[in-house]
Amino acid sequence: MDDALRYRRSTLICCMFTVVLAGCGGASGTLPLSHSIASHSDGSGSYKVIYSFKGGMDGALPESDLLDVNGKLYGTTLSGGGASNSRCAYGCGTVFETTTSGASRILHRFAGYPNDGAYPAAGLIEFKGKLYGTTSGGGASITGTVFAMSSAGQEKLLYSFGAYGDGDGRYPTSDLLAFKDVLYGTTEYGGKSYCYASITCGTVFKVTTSGKETVVYSFRNDRSQTDGFWPRAGLVASNGLLFGTTLGGSDSAGTIYTITPAGKEAVLYGFSGRHDGASPFGRLTVLNGEFYGTTEGAGAYGFGTVFAINAAGKERTVYEFKGSPTDGTSPEGDLAVVDGKLYGTTANGGKYRCFATRIGCGTVFAVTPSGSESVLHNFKGREDGADPVGGLADVNGSLYGATYSGGTGCGATRGANSGGCGTIFEVTP
């Protein structure tokens, strides 16, 4: 298989090639019982769904963080937006805007190859009055794009990533970072080195707002595993350095790395796949001079961790997720900091089962830097939402995020056990 599809979530594959317009999940869903989209509490916070994606011309399958710009929320959906062409049978994805009360509109429907992007997995950033983002597919070589957009929805393709084997990055899945008037990002695949068979190791790149792109660093196929590979998460800046994570490297459990704007890279920490966790999906978050993040796997119970690390590479495990029914599992999104506490989501776990092959519908959690954790909400699936894989945005003390599945959308033909096309939700701690 080409690495174009290797990162894709299993539910996306199901939806794109089978029943996205009728809702994802099909007959595999089980439980929960009754749900309401009114405000309620199932955990220590109050919760409500403010919007359910409908698929079709609307978006479907939101995977990214939300961006707060003057009280309005902006984000992307991996699918939906209408059948643009044969390469995007159920839509190439969208950029949307919503208010905190749920009044939503589509700003852009991606058209895919060759003149537009497709499948935006990453969220958006604001830089000098415009929104910037990436798509994981589409563009001239079908390997992803960087785009700019006005808040009114006028979109411009800035850069199309290169073809297989040309050394350029491919398939960006992370948010961009504006640093010294240049946009920096990562591509999960691409670059000069191959890590497994025909699967390339990934890159760090930079691109100007006029569209000039440069590969800053190509991750290496280092058999001694002193380098990382497959950087799914975006970058953060601190004291002139950029910090990021990779899924591969160091016991195949992932790494934390530093890189200069000129491309000098070093592994700061290699995960062991034991108590410290494995597979860091999300971007690092800075709090009180330390970098905090999550791992999707490992830890004492095998369900992922929250970790902290300082700039010298001293790492500590803050929290190890315990799993269903009392706790979440598989945190993938970025952490948000509000009043000195960390907030995030877990894609699975919690009280309620959604799919026969899954252990739970996911949670919203809070954790202190010392490791005291609480579940703010247990997702129930269906109308309540399920599978939150992105991070949270703080707007005046309330947290907003998206679930990849669940909700009331996707049309009247949605089956009784359908996973839905996703939701936007609000949690107040």
The residue to which tokens 């960087």 are assigned: 146
pLDDT at residue number 225: 63
Q: How far apart are CA 90 and CA 353, in angstroms?
A: 27
CB 219 within 8 A of CB 246: yes
The dihedrals phi and psi of 17, each to the nearest 5 degrees, come to -110, 5
Positive or negative: CA dihedral 272, 275, 278, 280: negative
pLDDT-derived band at 344 (thresholds 50, 70, 90) equals very high
Residue 206 is encoded by which pair of tokens?
């930079």
Strands (E), 285-397: 285-287, 290-295, 305-309, 315-320, 328-329, 336-338, 341-346, 348-349, 363-367, 373-378, 393-395
pLDDT at residue number 151: 87
State the DSSP H helix or E strand holding residue 158, giving kind and residue range, or none if neither. Answer: strand 155-160
CB 257 within 8 A of CB 243: yes
CB 338 within 8 A of CB 358: no
Q: What are 98-108's pLDDT values in tens digits? A: 999 999 999 99
CB 220 within 8 A of CB 162: no
Q: What are 192-214's pLDDT values in tens digits? A: 988 887 889 999 999 999 999 99
- Please tell me which residue, 132 or 31, carries the higher pLDDT value: 132
Mean pLDDT of the region 218-223: 78
pLDDT-derived band at 25 (thresholds 50, 70, 90) equals very low
What does each C-alpha distance from 292 to 138, 241, 350 come to in angstroms? 33, 16, 22
Length of the chain: 429
Q: How far apart are CA 378 and CA 389, in angstroms?
A: 14
SS3 category, 254: coil
The residue to which tokens 């996205």 are assigned: 20
C-alpha dihedral, 392 to 394 to 395 to 401, nearest 10°:
10
Which residues, 6+ apart, have CB-to-CB distance to 341 below 8 Å?
366, 367, 368
- Please tell me which residue, 133 or 89, carries the higher pLDDT value: 133
pTM over 0.85: yes
Residue whose C-alpha is closest to residue 45's, from 357, 344, 359, 413:
344
pLDDT-derived band at 418 (thresholds 50, 70, 90) equals very low
Q: How far apart are CA 87 and CA 183, in angstroms?
A: 28
**Residue 361 pLDDT greater than 50, yes or no:** yes
Cα distance from N-terminal residue to C-terminal residue, the chain = 43
pLDDT at residue number 34: 30
Residue 255 is encoded by which pair of tokens?
């790494």
The residue to which tokens 């900091």 are assigned: 337
**Residue 40 pLDDT greater than 60, yes or no:** no
Which residues, 6+ apart, have CB-to-CB distance to 83 below 8 Å?
89, 90, 91
**Residue 245 pLDDT greater than 70, yes or no:** yes
SS3 category, 416: coil
pLDDT-derived band at 414 (thresholds 50, 70, 90) equals very low
